[in-house]
Amino acid sequence: MSDGEVLVTGGSGYLAAHAIAQLLARGHAVRTTVRSLEREVEVRAMVAQAGVDPHGLQVLRADLMNEDGWAAAASGVEHVLHVASPFPAGTPRTEDDVIVPAREGTLRVLRAARAAGVKRVVLTSSFAAIGYGHNGSGPFGEDV
């Protein structure tokens, strides 16, 4: 990655906190998203706990479940690390309780990135990619 600003989605999450800390440690300007700005203190504390000064971090409100905030979050960044995914509070009743929000949230991030002229988007996946919608057991390969 170049020295351009990086957006990391889901700043209060485990993967995001580690990505943010690594990016800041390497001198990148970083912004991250949270559903509620009440989580900003927690996000900064996680970055500080990783031994990195969170001063270069900008925290913005954007929820994967709606359009609000994504244009502003992506504006001016060169790269996006999309590591967030909405997950239901309770046990999902159907695979669509997990898959549809994840897909729609990812599409929101991708549309905002495209509109902002982002150079590169990196997506991560989750257990939900194999944990829902597949019958049977055993190892999963790349073709699943």
List the domains of the chain with CATH numbers.
6-131 (3.40.50.720)
- Return the number of other C-beta atoms located less than 10 Å from residue 87's C-beta: 13
Residue 83 pLDDT > 70: yes
Q: How far is CA 58 from CA 25, 67, 72, in A?
A: 15, 19, 12
* Helices (H), ranges, 1-144: 14-25, 40-49, 70-74, 96-116, 128-131
pLDDT of residue 53: 96
* Average pLDDT of the chain to the nearest whole number: 90
d(Cα 136, Cα 7) in Å, to the nearest integer? Answer: 37
d(Cα 16, Cα 131) in Å, to the nearest integer? Answer: 21
Residue 42 pLDDT > 80: yes
pLDDT of residue 60: 98
Per-residue confidence at 137, pLDDT binned at 50, 70, 90? low
Least confident of 1-15, 50-64, 125-139: 125-139
d(Cα 141, Cα 143) in Å, to the nearest integer? Answer: 5
Q: How far is CA 17 from CA 23, 102, 104, in A?
A: 10, 19, 23
Residue 133 pLDDT > 70: no
Per-residue confidence at 93, pLDDT binned at 50, 70, 90? confident
Least confident of 72-76, 109-113, 139-143: 139-143
